[in-house]
Structure 1
């Protein structure tokens, strides 16, 4: 009936362990930063080390009980236990050594420094047991982790190729990366909490102290899945709430693997997962929107000159050498005013001339803007007869022609712009006719209609 006492005392270890830390740090601080009358402080310093030693002994005893009843492997806790005993013994040693001392001598400071190191190592090893060896390093940038000697390639998590994902081995190339990034820090050959090793198929198949972690007949009862979907506050929820939690898509992939038989030879294609589950893990090459090679920063004098003329000028994003230039406050702009931007033409990636007095005669001058990516001609006298000149703007991606008089026959002149992605032509003659030709760029002409919903007919 009283068999619960020892396991309960073991579980008090996380509470007791903070007592010696507080007492000993207080004593160490008084050794290194004493008040003027050290002789009167000695009893308080000795008391701090005495209480620290007693609480460290109690903490070591409760930790040993926790090891015996919580399923920790001895190889996992042994060094933490030994350092805890050393901290206990050294605390009592300093307590007795200080007896009769009336002044600080170097030996006392050396001993206090040694105790500080012992305390730090003991706490560090205890933290590794509780949170895993990678608790502090796993949040660091990969470059810093590599510098510190941590192997990160196998724990980077799930990454899928967009082509050929069907041929991936479901366990080895999908489930194992999920376990590596979410579970391996606590369940590995060295730190097998609950006698469970999730770093390999053999460990997953073997299970832990409570037996198998997956069941082929009733997969919903598999601990590998059922613990993941428990409420976060439930003490049986895994991973613990203070640890990194798997994504909902990762949990779904584990569920599907179990549902399909949890076979080590099953392929991802054979399991037929929904693409929306896989989508967050596809490795996609991010293509920058603006040119990759940035020019030198524009001179402040050239920017000030353009602003004085009436242009609005700012970086396209913080720290970029590319500039956004707009005539929002300069409606009287004419073609001749473009020369005011020649000093920063290599930096201009976004140019908005909408609503100004500019004409198509400006196009040859714009050909000298090598990094122009977004160009806006909205509500200008543009009919599109000379748009082929824009083929010189090899980085142009978005062209705005809203409110102009451009015709369908003029669109072919845009086919020579190599990177053109979108053309916006709302409120133009193009908006009146049907688009019968397919273009390599997206053509937006308006005329969108939203479907009616029940609330549209409600009368208030």
Structure 2
């Protein structure tokens, strides 16, 4: 009674000290699991003669397991008082934890007193402890991650044995912006990745469940989480935009917060009356939001990489190797290639460069650094339209040759270190819409040229000393 009064256990609102001790539960719960499983393994091992010397220590392992289980149960009980968990699941988790404590205590007593139990009684007890540990742990996982966590990726026969429905057919990956559903393809993945681990049917922190649109709109203990048309009055949006040090910031418990793009999109979605379905583009987004969603869906990247390309003919690969190119396969399940001439001891010829056109569909990385590449060679290189990464550093190439690269629309990285390019960059670089990294150190480019290039694209990172 005195303990209840001091710790305020019987109150509707547990005291801070109770909640503090409850938060220790995840820290201590794994310790007894280790000791008790080790004790069970030791009990089995001592049946063999060579392991008999450890028999004298088994009782101490059981004892440590019992002590750990006691504190795990105690702190777990304190944690359950927060009211953030599904009542049915927490009930069975709590009493299965108590069962682990009691059965492990029985094993400790039997081991300490060297009591002989007939009909394999001790083995049965050990088995019960092990099964209870796994069952309790399973329920704990359900409380933390949701009731489908353990079997989420299990084969359908296993799911059906557990009383779950067959795995839902995942939505096809969005490859065209016009096909993106505003909730199913954008809002729901954000909730699933950032929020659902704490707001699901088994763990409803703040009585808030974010596993579906209907639950999201139902809100929680603080009222409506979403107020369509008014992001500033929506509690969910308020929480994800607070400083990370604020007590009300979401997500909590050190989980990774939403990205700036995700926060901006959620605000935009609420401002557009938070629809439960419909195409994203039907809501008439501006260019900034289109770019935002394209980044989230990965549509700002090179889509052709998702396509399968044929394996190049062996005689072509052999020919290029004989001419000095080192070829490497870049993907296990596709035939995209890297070609490297920078390590070759052979002389680069126009025929060598032209030979690369035979693998233009497969070639996405090309390293021609310090290879005596000329402006004339760039005319051929500029026809390798699938190039993503191109290294031309250490070659005497100028603006006259640079112009041939403007058709490389997929290029993401271009290295022009120690070359003679200069003002021609202003005409070519803006046309390379996928370019993200540009190396210009020790070239003929000036600070003014680099500043002008940077104005044209905030996403472009330019290395220039």
TM-score (norm: length of structure 1): 0.60
Q: Could you report, residue by residue, the CA deviation over 1:137-173 in whole angstroms, capped at 9, with x for unpaired residues?
A: 99xxx9x9999868475699x95842366xx5x5565
Residue pair 1:91, 1:115 contacting (<8 A) in 2 also: yes
Task: Name the Cα RMSD after superposition.
Answer: 5.6
CA-CA distance at 1:87 after TM superposition: 0.7
The 5-angstrom pairing of residues 163-242 of structure 1 reads: 163=178, 168=181, 170-171=182-183, 174-215=186-227, 219-220=231-232, 222-232=234-244, 234=246, 236-242=248-254
Residue pair 1:145, 1:152 contacting (<8 A) in 2 also: no
Equivalents in 2 of 1:333, 1:19: separation in Å? Answer: 65
Structure 1 residue aligned with 2:433:
none
C-alpha change, 1:231 and 1:241, in structure 2 (3 Å) is: farther
CA-CA distance at 1:203 after TM superposition: 1.4
CA-CA distance at 1:224 after TM superposition: 0.8
Of 141, 146, 152, the match for 1:127: 141
Residue pair 1:83, 1:118 contacting (<8 A) in 2 also: yes
Q: Could you report, residue by residue, the CA deviation over 1:247-290 in whole angstroms, capped at 9, with x for unpaired residues?
A: 22111111223344546589755474533322213464721499
Of 107, 114, 130, the match for 1:116: 130
CA-CA distance at 1:74 after TM superposition: 1.0
Any stretches of 5+ residues in structure 1 without a counterpart? 339-350, 353-362, 412-418, 436-445, 455-460
Structure 1 range deviating more: 6-15 or 323-332: 323-332
CA-CA distance at 1:204 after TM superposition: 1.8
Aligned-partner SS, 2:177:
coil
CA-CA distance at 1:327 after TM superposition: 8.5
Any stretches of 5+ residues in structure 2 without a counterpart? 160-165, 429-442, 453-465
2:297 is equivalent to residue 257 of structure 1 = no
C-alpha change, 1:153 and 1:231, in structure 2 (3 Å) is: farther
The 5-angstrom pairing of residues 52-63 of structure 1 reads: 52-53=65-66, 55-63=68-76
The count of aligned residue pairs is 384
Equivalents in 1 of 2:7, 2:229: separation in Å? Answer: 34
Equivalents in 1 of 2:72, 2:228: separation in Å? Answer: 43
C-alpha change, 1:163 and 1:69, in structure 2 (3 Å) is: closer
Equivalents in 1 of 2:50, 2:94: separation in Å? Answer: 38
Structure 2 residue aligned with 1:306:
322
The 5-angstrom pairing of residues 71-150 of structure 1 reads: 71-101=84-114, 107-132=121-146
Q: Could you report, residue by residue, the CA deviation over 1:179-235 in whole angstroms, capped at 9, with x for unpaired residues?
A: 233222332334433321112233122222333323569743533123223444555
Larger Rg: 1
